Amino acid sequence: MRIDLHTHSHVSDGTDAPQDLVRLAAQAGLDVVALTDHDTAAGWAPAVEAAHEVGITLVRGMEISTRHHDLPGRPGVHLLAYLPDPTYPPLVEELGRILDGRQGRVPAMLELLREHGIEVSAEDVLAASGDAAATGRPHIADALVTLGVVRDRGEAFERFLSAGRPAYVGRYAAPLTDMLRTVTAAGGVSVIAHPWGRSRVERPDEADLAHLVEHGLAGIEVDHQDHSPQARDRLRAIGGNLGLVVTGASDYHGAGKIDHDLGCQTTAPEELERLLDLAAAAAEASGRTTPGVVRP
Ligand code: AMP
Ligand code: ZN
Ligand code: FE
Ligand code: FE
């Protein structure tokens, strides 16, 4: 049983259509795949159709941009929300705010690029983002690739787009503890994506995670390409101490991210079962109509 619980389609900053992603997941030998585009459920419907077609189990989710306001530096936290009712008004409202923030910063980033002598137009970005509901820096990166300024997304981030680089502009992210409660109230479950993936500092630490459990956190993504073996060992131990569900996933972005192939990291079947049990309990308690798992 091979389970990959974190993937992106071109509805956010992946490069495959949702239905293609699901077909590729089946071809890669996965039994279960979750579609978790950034801040949107826009890819769910075509993914469901493809899942029926190829006979794979599909978990509908999203990766929500949040910020931990209680921690020094207010670090950004990517929160994987599985199986929430996507029509739950507080969730819809907050995702709208995040998507507006994503769109709203594009002109500022283009202006900063212009100050560095690089002309990228809004149309160039639109051509790169296509039908994406969630515009992101990777789309600006793709525009820079098309214009021949950089070789690939990696170079674009390194030279211009990463935090601290000349064209970086921050954006709105939802308060983490509020979002944990919102996801639960929407009948879904929350898992922190790559908790130690991007900063060298080990944060959130065990005490922070324990605090988040009180707000409804159900799990942490441990097996992720951005985690060192040492980080995984420590996170796995913390997950055990706190009774968290421990997941693993590719964070697949199609051609947009190298070394993140479908199924390159996976979740143990018993961990998925725990996660789905928690989701079923949350759905029941919420009284919402939740999407449920699509089974072959
Ligand atoms: P944004 O959503 O606009 O804040 O951009 C963050 C997204 O860019 C995340 O989904 C990352 O997966 C992606 N990303 C960050 N760094 C890189 C990189 N070096 N190469 C490709 N994608 C990246
Ligand atoms: Zn992404
Ligand atoms: Fe992420
Ligand atoms: Fe991701």
Q: What is the pLDDT of residues 208-248, one digit of tens each?
A: 999 999 999 999 999 999 999 999 999 999 999 999 999 99
Question: What's the burial of 240, exposed, middle or buried (CB within 10 Å: 0-12/13-18/19+)?
Answer: exposed
How many structural domains comprise the chain?
2
Q: Name the helix (H) or strand (E) containing 43.
A: none
Of 121, 141, 161, which residue constitutes the final position of a domain?
161
- Ligand nearest the Cα atom of residue 265: 4
Question: What CATH code is carried by the domain that includes residue 282?
Answer: 3.20.20.140
What is the distance in A from the centroid of ligand 2 to the CA of 14? 6
What is the distance in A from the centroid of ligand 4 to the CA of 117? 31
Is 167 contained in some domain? no
Among protein residues, the one with the nearest Cα to ligand 1's atom 10 is: 13
What is the distance in A from the centroid of ligand 1 to the CA of 45? 25
Measure the CA dihedral 185/188/189/195, to 10°.
Answer: -90
- Ligand nearest the Cα atom of residue 250: 4
Which residues fall inside 5 Å of ion ligand 4, going by CB?
63, 251
Question: What CATH code is carried by the domain that includes residue 112?
Answer: 1.10.150.650
Q: Averaged over 185-206, what is the pLDDT?
A: 87
Q: Averaged over 267-276, what is the pLDDT?
A: 98
Same domain, 179 and 79: yes
Same domain, 21 and 67: yes
The whole-number pLDDT of residue 176 equals: 97
Same domain, 90 and 189: yes
The whole-number pLDDT of residue 202 equals: 61
The whole-number pLDDT of residue 203 equals: 81
Q: Averaged over 116-142, what is the pLDDT?
A: 97
The whole-number pLDDT of residue 38 equals: 98
Question: CA of 156: how far to CAs of 3, 148, 199, 261, in Å?
Answer: 31, 11, 19, 21
Give yes or no for a contact between 53 and 294, defined as CB atoms under 8 angstroms apart.
Answer: no
| pLDDT tens profile 29-39 | 999 999 999 99
Is 166 contained in some domain? no
In ligand 1, the atom with minimum distance to the C-alpha of 76 is 4
Q: Is the pLDDT of residue 200 over 80?
A: no
Of 134, 161, 188, which residue constitutes the final position of a domain?
161
Same domain, 119 and 258: no
What is the distance in A from the centroid of ligand 3 to the CA of 178? 19
Nearest alpha carbon to residue 219 among 253, 252, 250, 184: 184
| pLDDT tens profile 171-184 | 999 999 999 999 99
CA distance 55 to 46: 14
Give yes or no for a contact between 105 and 111, defined as CB atoms under 8 angstroms apart.
Answer: no
Same domain, 155 and 189: no
Confidence of residue 73 (pLDDT cuts 50, 70, 90): confident
Q: Is the pLDDT of residue 72 over 90?
A: no
Q: Is the pLDDT of residue 201 over 80?
A: no
In ligand 1, the atom with minimum distance to the C-alpha of 251 is 12
Is 296 contained in some domain? no
Same domain, 192 and 271: yes
Q: Averaged over 46-69, what is the pLDDT?
A: 97
What is the distance in A from the centroid of ligand 2 to the CA of 21? 14
Same domain, 251 and 178: yes
* Residue 252, ligand 1, Cβ within 6 A: no
Which residues fall inside 5 Å of ion ligand 2, going by CB?
8, 13
Give yes or no for a contact between 8 and 254, defined as CB atoms under 8 angstroms apart.
Answer: yes
* Residue 6, ligand 1, Cβ within 6 A: no
The whole-number pLDDT of residue 74 equals: 84
Q: Is the pLDDT of residue 126 over 60?
A: yes
Same domain, 128 and 272: no
Kindly write down the DSSP assignment for every residue of 249-275, as one continuous string.
---B-GGGSTT--TTSS---HHHHHHH
Q: How confident is the prediction for the chain on average, in pLDDT?
A: 96
Q: Is the pLDDT of residue 199 over 90?
A: no
* Residue 160, ligand 1, Cβ within 6 A: no
Question: What's the burial of 28, exposed, middle or buried (CB within 10 Å: 0-12/13-18/19+)?
Answer: middle
What is the distance in A from the centroid of ligand 4 to the CA of 64? 9
What is the distance in A from the centroid of ligand 2 to the CA of 8? 6
Nearest alpha carbon to residue 185 among 215, 212, 210: 215
Of 142, 161, 180, which residue constitutes the final position of a domain?
161
Same domain, 220 and 135: no
Same domain, 86 and 207: yes
- Ligand nearest the Cα atom of residue 135: 1
CA distance 189 to 276: 8
Among protein residues, the one with the nearest Cα to ligand 1's atom 11 is: 138
Among protein residues, the one with the nearest Cα to ligand 1's atom 8 is: 138
Is 46 contained in some domain? yes
Same domain, 111 and 36: no
Q: Name the helix (H) or strand (E) containing 165.
A: none
Confidence of residue 289 (pLDDT cuts 50, 70, 90): very high
Domain containing 197: what range?
Answer: 3-98+172-286
Same domain, 187 and 236: yes
Confidence of residue 43 (pLDDT cuts 50, 70, 90): very high
Q: Averaged over 193-199, what is the pLDDT?
A: 85
CA distance 196 to 81: 18
